[in-house]
Amino acid sequence: MAETLWIGTRKGLFALRALEARRRWRLLGPQFLGHVVHHLVQDPREPRVLLLATRTGHLGPTVMRSTDGGRSWREASAPPAFRKAAGEEPPRAVERVFWLTPGHRSESGTWYAGSSPAGLFRSGDGGERWEPVAGFNDHPMRPQWAAHGTPDGEFLHSVLVDPRDPRHLYLAISIGGVFESSDRGESWSPLNEGCAADFMPDPDVPFGHDPHCVVQHPAMPDRLYQQNHCGIYRLDRPARRWQRIGTAMPRKIGDVGFPIVVHPTDPDRVWVLPMDGRTVWPRTSIDGRPALYTSENAGASWRRLDRGLPRGQAWFTVLRQAMCADRHARTGLYFGTTAGEVWASTNSGESWRCLVRHLPEIYSVTHAA
């Protein structure tokens, strides 16, 4: 499949096709014009298979599937949905499918989806039919785990499948925290020790945190990084206590943001894109000067990367699914803004250029090859 950046936006799906070894990019689309595209993910087991999480302003949420690299799409025959409420149970309905994760490489056709309100769903047939994961959705503690969502609801995201063991899963809920399962989703427990929850009456709580994005290093699956509402963290399993590595960020920048991206092969290399979390939480680039920060020592120190990015009056917001890396030796990094710009670096973030402007609000940027 041709190297492509898939751009999910509030008003449709776009693609940037790499030409001349990433020196030029051609904008394709839109597909699904007017549809909200929350996430698009390529299946690493079958690279021509893509899954897309979508809805429209009017219509309910669904999942679309392509088996020809995004040329044509077919809707899931049973999209993610909660089970029917029983008795006095509060009825739950999926408002948006927010996140997609391919299953373990040994489980062809298995996918996970995360929703808002917080729900976990699994497909065993490549995304055609979805079933609720009862072990999480009906867990007796789930109402407490996801008790303090905003009016937009809680978002279940960052579903991680341990590449060594298909039974070992992580997920994150904004707001709710990080949770772990070692039995393929049958049972779950919170994994939030060490994370701050400054917005809670008691900041030292076992759950109720706001992880914005959690990633697992593919070459060192015991290493997790987390960009949280309250800081940047690293966890090296089997430890259970997150270490706040954002304390090494410059004090005037802080360690608030949405996305966090790991290097494809070096577990010590990570990138974040800080945002303004002061006063009323503008969530823009800090002082209008966008920059990434990278660490090459697992968060012990950070270095600013802003060459080519605007020097001022640039009020970027970059959402959690809207930054990614490719797998080239000279790592490509890409992010999309809520103002509809896509920026790229093909030298690990050292310099940046804008690939496209004037797209709708960007929700996700994913790399496929």
Partner 1 sequence: MTCTVRIASPLRSYTEGAATLSVSGRTLAQVLDSLEARCPGIRFRMIDEQDRIRPHMRLFVNSSEAQQLTAAVADGDTVHVICALSGG
Q: Which positions touch partner 1 (CB under 8 A)?
A: 56-60, 62, 75, 77, 79, 81-85, 91-94
Question: Residue 351's beta-bridge partner residues?
Answer: 307
Toward partner 1, which CB reaches closer, 71 or 240? 71
Shortest reach from residue 133's CB to partner 1, in Å = 15
CA distances from 311 to 191, 234, 254, 308 (A): 39, 30, 19, 8
Shortest reach from residue 318's CB to partner 1, in Å = 21
Shortest reach from residue 304's CB to partner 1, in Å = 35
Toward partner 1, which CB reaches closer, 60 or 308? 60
HEC secondary structure over 189-226: EECCCCCCCCCCCCCCCCCCECEEEEEECCCCCCEEEE
Shortest reach from residue 85's CB to partner 1, in Å = 6
Toward partner 1, which CB reaches closer, 74 or 353? 74
Specify the pairing of strand 323-325 against strand 50-55: unpaired
- What sign has the CA pseudo-torsion 149, 204, 145, 130? positive
Toward partner 1, which CB reaches closer, 117 or 259? 117
Shortest reach from residue 58's CB to partner 1, in Å = 4
Shortest reach from residue 67's CB to partner 1, in Å = 18
Shortest reach from residue 82's CB to partner 1, in Å = 5
CA distances from 362 to 14, 108, 338, 356 (A): 10, 30, 5, 12
Toward partner 1, which CB reaches closer, 91 or 238? 91
Residue 228 CA to residue 213 CA, distance in Å, equals 7
Toward partner 1, which CB reaches closer, 77 or 279? 77
At residue 45, the 3 state secondary structure works out as coil
Toward partner 1, which CB reaches closer, 56 or 72? 56
Q: Is 48 left (phi over 0), alpha (psi -120 to 50) or beta?
A: alpha
Look up tokens 């080239």; give the residue: 328
